[in-house]
Amino acid sequence: MNPYLLIVLLTSLGLGTALTLSSTHWLLAWLGLEVGTLAILPLMAQPHHPRATEAATKYFIVQATAAATLLFAAINNAWLQGHWDIQHMSHPLFTSMITLALLLKLGLAPMHTWMPEVIQGVSLNTGLIVSTWQKIAPFILLLQIKQIHPPLLTIIGLASILIGGWGGLNQTQLRKILAYSSIAHLGWMVLILQHSTALATFALLIYIFMTSATFITLKKCKATTINMLTTTWTKAPTITLVAPLMLLSLGGLPPLSGFAPKWFILQELTQQNFIPHASIAALAALLSLYYYLRLSYSITLSLSPNNLPECLQWRVNYPISTPLSSALPAALALTLFLLPLTPSALTLII
Amino acid sequence: MTPIQMTFSTMFLLGLMGLTFHRTHLLSALLCLESMMLSLFLATSLWALQLSTINIATVPMLLLAFSACEASSGLALLVATARTHGSDHMQNLNLLQC
């Protein structure tokens, strides 16, 4: 892609999210969401391939519908209550409608079906943007509105944790697995959203670090299926060593930083006497852990059944430093070692 | 609920139902999206008329500009889909299913 065009598109992506984050008026929030959607479409449709076009079309239809529904609810709220403030919205029907529209934009459980298909159709770089940066704006809007029906978000959160686990079990495509893992993580955030917004923001932050590390690693390995991961040791031995730890951090195992949000969310839920919800969420995280373990098994713990010369690459890849690959060490460090720093990170957010 | 609000809500909901239930052509989906945006334009402009304030009168213009951008990228995607998949049938968009 033309670098000037790329700069314009990436700047508009940043502008859209910044506009949404800094607005108190529903119209400006909607404008920011639209700018973000319109800016990422050329990035998605840029490879001339039917899959990329299809992914861009699906993403466009879903995001445009969600944005229109959001604005419809905001206008109706303005007709009934006479103001456009995000934080003072209090009509029950239209608050629920806006919540559902934002959940559709995020890709949570009953409205999640676009997410694996879109991530599967785009390149790993664009998939990184879709599953991290594009989640920020709708999530912050979701944090700001007052929730009127508490069971709505609880049910949707639990359903997305379960579906994110179950959906990824049968997949061999890495990008679909990552999409389901993203659905499950967003389910955890939505589950805790109405009890503690600080914890939800913290979980989003950790999720962004972990997902960027995973996408950049896969980009480095040039892998899109599980089979292609088995020859990682010939391409990047260091990644072979670190990748299982990164995946277990996504799964939420103790000494790694992915454990922190799950730990605090479970603690908060138990403190507020939502013990069944906490149990279901903790047990459903095992489903996600299964496919992370399968990925780390095929990266590190097993050799591919090929004979040895076939595992080697035809050409030696000299390490080329791209901006993304130079961000890999930082993302990996944040993914693996953030747990001891959790108290100070939480005080930063609260 | 005033009659005006009733009217544009019905328009919007009809557009939304057309988008969700009538899934044969991509072009009809884009038309439904456009009708949803036009009903929103009607809603904001009537809101501005009813309040008769000048600072809310830019809202329908902004909305119309953005919905035009949205419609044009939708049409670009329609052309791209027609070139890669051969037609604009929604059933042809099945390459990425599980």
Query: According to the model, what pLDDT value does residue B98 have?
Result: 65
- Whether residues A142 and A159 share a domain: the answer is no
- Whether residues A282 and A303 share a domain: the answer is yes
Q: Say yes or no to pLDDT of B51 above 70.
A: yes
Q: What is the mean pLDDT of chain B?
A: 91
Min Cα distance A118 → chain B (Å) is: 8
Q: Tens digits of per-residue pLDDT, A166-194?
A: 999 989 999 999 999 999 999 999 999 98
- Whether residues A89 and A177 share a domain: the answer is no
Q: Say yes or no to pLDDT of A238 above 80.
A: yes
Q: Which domain holds residue A144?
A: 1-148
Residue of A12, A53, A59 to mutate, testing the B interface (most B Cβ within 10 Å of its Cβ): A53
> Which stretch of A64-68, A218-222, A243-247 has the lowest confidence by average pLDDT?
A218-222
- Whether residues A164 and A139 share a domain: the answer is no
- Whether residues A183 and A95 share a domain: the answer is no
Query: According to the model, what pLDDT value does residue A149 have?
Result: 82
Q: Where are the alpha helices (DSSP H) in B22-57?
A: 26-51
Is position B92 within any domain? Answer: no
Residue A303 pLDDT grade (very low, low, confident, very high; cuts 50, 70, 90): confident
Q: Say yes or no to pLDDT of A69 above 80.
A: yes
Chain B interface includes A65 (CB < 8 A) = yes
| CA separation for the pair A165, A179 (Å, rounded) | 11
> Which stretch of A80-84, A120-124, A301-305 has the lowest confidence by average pLDDT?
A301-305
Q: Tens digits of per-residue pLDDT, A119-161?
A: 999 999 999 999 999 999 999 999 999 888 888 999 999 999 9
What is the number of structural domains in chain A? 2
What's the rounded mean pLDDT across residues B33-42? 95
Q: Say yes or no to pLDDT of A310 above 70.
A: no
What is the number of structural domains in chain B? 1
- Whether residues A6 and A112 share a domain: the answer is yes
Query: According to the model, what pLDDT value does residue A348 have?
Result: 78
Task: Collect all residues of chain B within an 8 Å Cβ-Cβ radius of residue A27.
Answer: 59, 62-63
Q: Output A279-282 pairs: Cβ under 8 A, ≥24 positions apart.
A: A280/A158, A280/A161, A280/A162, A281/A157, A281/A158, A281/A161, A281/A187, A281/A188, A281/A191
- Whether residues A82 and A9 share a domain: the answer is yes
Q: Say yes or no to pLDDT of A37 above 90.
A: yes
Q: Which domain holds residue B15?
A: 3-87
Residue A317 pLDDT grade (very low, low, confident, very high; cuts 50, 70, 90): low
Min Cα distance A72 → chain B (Å) is: 6
What's the rounded mean pLDDT across residues B23-34? 93
Residue of B10, B50, B77 to mutate, testing the A interface (most A Cβ within 10 Å of its Cβ): B77
What's the rounded mean pLDDT across residues A268-296? 93
Boundary residue ending a domain (A148, A175, A194): A148
Indicate which CATH number applies to the domain containing B29: 1.10.287.3510
Q: Which of B5, B29, B63 sits opposite A61 (nearest CB)?
A: B29
Residue of A61, A118, A119 to mutate, testing the B interface (most B Cβ within 10 Å of its Cβ): A61
Is position B94 within any domain? Answer: no
Chain B interface includes A78 (CB < 8 A) = yes
- Whether residues A134 and A178 share a domain: the answer is no
- Whether residues A25 and A142 share a domain: the answer is yes
Is position B66 within any domain? Answer: yes
Q: What is the mean pLDDT of chain A?
A: 90
Is position B72 within any domain? Answer: yes
Is position B65 within any domain? Answer: yes
- Whether residues A159 and A143 share a domain: the answer is no
Task: Collect all residues of chain A within an 8 Å Cβ-Cβ radius of residue B97.
Answer: 117
Boundary residue ending a domain (A107, A132, A148): A148
Boundary residue ending a domain (A103, A118, A148): A148
Chain B interface includes A61 (CB < 8 A) = yes
ipTM value of the model?
A: 0.96
Task: Collect all residues of chain B within an 8 Å Cβ-Cβ radius of residue A34.
Answer: 66, 69-70
**CA quadruple A276, A277, A280, A281: dihedral positive or negative?**
negative
- Whether residues A31 and A123 share a domain: the answer is yes
- Whether residues A228 and A313 share a domain: the answer is yes
**Contact: B77, A45; criterion CB under 8 Å:** yes
